[in-house]
Structures are given as C-alpha cells and as structure tokens.
C-alpha cells in the first residue's frame, strides 16, 4: 500500500509518499517540505493570510516532487490523505482541496486526517509501536498527555490550562528579543547559560491531575528580565537556560503523573511516545530518556524531522485508516478545531 500525504495546517507545506512494509511500520519513499520561515520572520510569527497564499503557490510543485522522488505515478497510489485540521483554516483548505481533487481525478480513496492524530501515530510509522501507549504531544499550539488505545481511540489525560509549551518558548524568545522562530533560539541560547541563576517557578508541580500551566512561568521570566535590564548577552543566555530548566522539570513531573494515571486505568503502556515540534528540543529529550530509564518504560521519539509538521505522518495516518476501511467523502469540511478526544472538556483557554 502506497499513500500520498499532504500537510498545510500551519507554515510548512509538505507532501510525501509512504509505503506500508509487510512486517508492519512504514517506509518513507519521499518527504518534501517547504518552510515559510522567511515569509513570517519580519512579523515575528505566522501570518495566516501569508501562510495560505504561500501554500497555494507551492503545493502543486511539492506534490510533483514527492511523486518523482518516490518514483511513482498518481495511478500507482492506493490512496490520498490530506490534513483537514486542526490549524489555520486558510492553509488547511489548500491542502484539503488539493487532496480531494487528486483523489477524485484518479479514482482513489480519500482520507481526511486529523493533524494531531498524525503526530500521535508517527511512532507506529518509525518504530511500529503496539497499542496502547502514552502520548506526550508538545507543539506550538498543543500540549497534551493522551492515552492512545487504537486508531481513532484517544483519551486525554492532561492538557494545558493556558499556554502550550511551544507557545511559551516562542513568547519568551520574543520577550528577550530573539529572532523568529523563537523556540529553537531559546534552546541555542540556553546551551551557554546558567540554569540556576534565576529562580523560576515550576507550575503545577506535584499536582495529581497531570495538567500543565505555563503563563505564570512566562510572567516570571518577564519580571526577572525587567529586574536585570538592560540585558547583556549573558543575561539572555542565563534567562533562557533557567526557563528551559523549569520547563524540563514541569514536563517530567507532569508526565510522571500522567503515567501514574494511565497505569491506574489501562495498565502498563507499551511505550511513552513523544511527538510534536517541541520534541525536537534536545534538553527535553535527554530528560525524558532519564525519566523512562528510571520508570522502566520504553521511550519512542521520532527523529526531529518527523516531530515537526511533515507529509509523511499524514500519509502514514492515511494508511492506518485505510487498513481499517476508513475513508472520507468529498464533502468533508476543513476543521480549525478538531480535538483528539472529543469527549474531553476544553481547557481553560478554550483550546481542545
């Protein structure tokens, strides 16, 4: 089975072809990604209208590149999958319409993919992880602990009540005058900083319910920066290191509580799977390696290139759903919000 996947939910345009291996898991035949960092950098963040226009301009070319790199034609495919949300509605519509058009023109099954589900299932593409497992999803817009029981079967254990982890990284970067994209810049600065210089809070530490709260930590960084102003390069590095150390402590503590809750309700998970763009942060990855070693838990973290938005994860989710006979009609609408666990209450900031 070979499926084309299309991803346009934010500021990466991506197309990929993935093949199902006979022994399980997938083989990425191509994975084309075009970032829009240069377009959004002058504004310090993603501008939805610019993002949508950039997707329109490049999507056809990227699909052609993905097919050529995989050495397949559209007629060789077994299906087309496109991210249908959640995300910026203008961008989502570009990829969704493109995927529908290709599927309709070639008479192929079409799958509308939940972008969050694609992150959740990436570990099955790379490592063939069996269900159930505990997912720690960390991105610019989402922070969740989720029990993954099967394709389409998700129970949210914890979420953020305010900022997502990636959002907190980006806001701290902007506060300290670091260039866009902010999260990776904070990590770079933190490498040369003193993580003990600034005494920053660890919100929600030791709380039984494994939710996250990061707005207070962000405020603490702002107050510390104001007290230390004017900031020298050393001040900036120390603030980044102290902030990142606090984030790491929070993530490990919240994951520990999430694991405890998972074991109480579902037994021992087959793995802790870490996904989303923030999973590329090396300090966070090292801390979770130590945590899982101490907990006797298998840790699966896809390569950094598959943690950020990409078409391969969309194609793989298409394969997973096609194997179960799950396809979608051409009237499937783009969804700016699309929670993994529709039964869970919204977090306090209104994000699912």
Is 79 in the same domain as 190?
no
Output the domain CATH number for residue 195. Answer: 3.30.420.40
> Are 146 and 265 in contact, with CB atoms under 8 Å apart?
no
Q: Tell whether 75 and 46 lie within a shared domain.
A: yes
- Binned at pLDDT 50, 70 and 90, residue 244 comes out as very high
- Verify cis geometry, omega within 30 degrees of 0, for the bond prior to 42: no
Burial class (CB within 10 angstroms; exposed 0-12, middle 13-18, buried 19+) of 319:
buried
Q: How far apart are CA 324 and CA 27, in angstroms?
A: 19
Among residues 30, 37, 31, the alpha carbon closest in space to that of 12 is found at 37
Q: What is the pLDDT of residues 28-37, one digit of tens each?
A: 999 999 999 9
pLDDT digits (tens, 9 = 90+) for 65-94: 999 999 999 999 999 999 999 999 999 999
Q: How many CA within 13 A on the CB side of residue 250?
A: 27
Structural domain of 277: 131-304
Residue 349 has pLDDT above 70, yes or no: no
CA distances from residue 120 to 47, 61, 108, 155 in whole angstroms, order as listed: 26, 28, 25, 12
Q: Show the tokens assigned to 282.
A: 């090396």
pLDDT range class, residue 184, cuts 50, 70, 90:
very high
**Domain identity same for 202 and 115:** no
Q: Is residue 196 part of a domain?
A: yes
Q: What mean pLDDT is reported for the chain?
A: 95
Query: Is residue 352 over pLDDT 60?
Result: no
Burial 248-284 (b: 16+ CB within 10 A, else e): bebbbbbbebbbebbeeeeeebbbbbbbbbbbbbebb
- Residue 346 pLDDT more than 70? no
H/E run at residue 155: strand 153-159
| Domain annotation covers residue 310 | yes
Let me know whether 174 and 245 are in one domain.
yes
pTM of the model: 0.94
183 and 213, same domain (yes or no): yes
Whether residues 87 and 184 share a domain: the answer is no
Q: Is residue 204 part of a domain?
A: yes
Asked if 154 and 272 sit in the same domain, the reply is yes
Residue 342 belongs to a domain: no
What letters, b where the CB count within 10 A reaches 16 and e where it falls short, cover 204-226?
A: beeeeebbbbbbebbebbeebbe
Antiparallel, parallel or unpaired: β 272-275 and 133-138: parallel
Distance between CA atoms of 163 and 114, rounded to whole angstroms?
Answer: 21
DSSP alpha helix (H) spans, the chain: 37-40, 48-70, 89-106, 115-127, 165-175, 182-190, 215-228, 233-266, 282-295, 304-307, 311-323
Note whether residue 170 is domain-resident.
yes
For residues 302, 320, 35, 274, the Cα torsion angle rounded to the nearest 10 degrees is -30
- So what's the pLDDT on residue 39? 93
Mean pLDDT over residues 252-271, rounded?
96
- Same domain, yes or no: 195 and 89: no
Domains held by the chain: number: 2
Which pair of tokens denotes residue 196? 């003990």
331: in domain? no
Do 284 and 316 lie in a common domain? no
If asked whether residues 34 and 161 sit together in one domain, one would say no
CA dihedral sign, ordered 113, 135, 12, 33 = negative
- Report the pLDDT averaged over residues 121-136: 97
In a domain, 336, yes or no: no
Which residue, among 263, 257, 245, 255, has the nearest Cα to 299 in the 3D structure? 255
Which residues lie across from 82 on neighbouring strands?
A: 6, 112
Same domain, 216 and 258: yes
- Is 329 inside any structural domain? no
CA–CA gap between residue 8 and residue 25 (Å, rounded): 24
Using CA atoms, how far apart are residues 217 and 189, in angstroms rounded to an integer?
Answer: 18
Considering the domain architecture, whether residues 75 and 209 belong to the same structural domain is answered as no
Q: What is the CA radius of gyration of the chain?
A: 20
Query: Measured over all CA atoms, what is the biggest interatomic distance in the chain, rounded to whole angstroms?
Result: 63
Strand partners, 17: 4, 30
């Amino acid at each position: 089975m070979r499926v084309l996947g299309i991803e346009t939910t934010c500021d990466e345009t991506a197309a990929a072809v993935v093949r199902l291996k006979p022994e399980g898991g997938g083989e990425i035949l191509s994975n084309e990604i075009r970032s829009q960092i240069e377009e959004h950098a002058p504004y310090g963040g993603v501008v939805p209208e610019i993002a949508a226009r950039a997707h329109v301009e490049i999507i056809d070319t990227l699909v052609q590149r993905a097919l050529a790199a995989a050495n397949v034609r559209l007629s060789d495919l077994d299906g087309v999958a496109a991210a249908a949300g959640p995300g910026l509605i203008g961008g989502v519509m570009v990829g969704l319409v493109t995927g529908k058009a290709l599927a309709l023109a070639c008479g192929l099954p079409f799958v509308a993919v939940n972008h969050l589900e694609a992150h959740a299932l990436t570990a099955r593409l790379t490592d063939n992880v069996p269900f159930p497992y505990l997912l720690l999803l960390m991105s610019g817009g989402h922070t969740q602990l989720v029990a993954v029981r099967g394709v389409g079967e998700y129970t949210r254990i914890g979420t953020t009540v305010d900022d997502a982890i990636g959002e907190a990284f980006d806001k701290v970067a902007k506060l300290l005058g670091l260039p866009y994209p902010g999260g990776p810049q904070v990590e770079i600065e933190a490498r040369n900083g003193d993580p003990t210089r600034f005494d920053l809070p660890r919100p929600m530490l030791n709380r039984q319910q494994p939710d996250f709260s990061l707005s207070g930590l962000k405020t603490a960084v702002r107050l510390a920066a104001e007290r230390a102003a004017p900031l020298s390069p050393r001040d900036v590095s120390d603030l980044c290191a102290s902030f990142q150390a606090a984030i790491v402590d929070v993530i490990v503590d919240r994951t520990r509580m999430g694991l405890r809750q998972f074991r109480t309700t579902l037994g021992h998970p087959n793995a802790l799977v870490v996904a989303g763009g923030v999973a590329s942060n090396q300090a966070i990855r090292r801390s979770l390696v130590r945590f899982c070693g101490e907990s006797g838990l298998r840790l699966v973290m896809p390569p950094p290139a598959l943690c950020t938005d990409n078409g391969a994860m969309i194609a793989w989710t298409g394969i997973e759903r096609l194997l179960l006979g799950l396809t979608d009609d051409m009237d499937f609408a783009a969804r700016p919000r699309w929670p993994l666990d529709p039964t869970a209450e919204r977090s306090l900031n209104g994000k699912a």
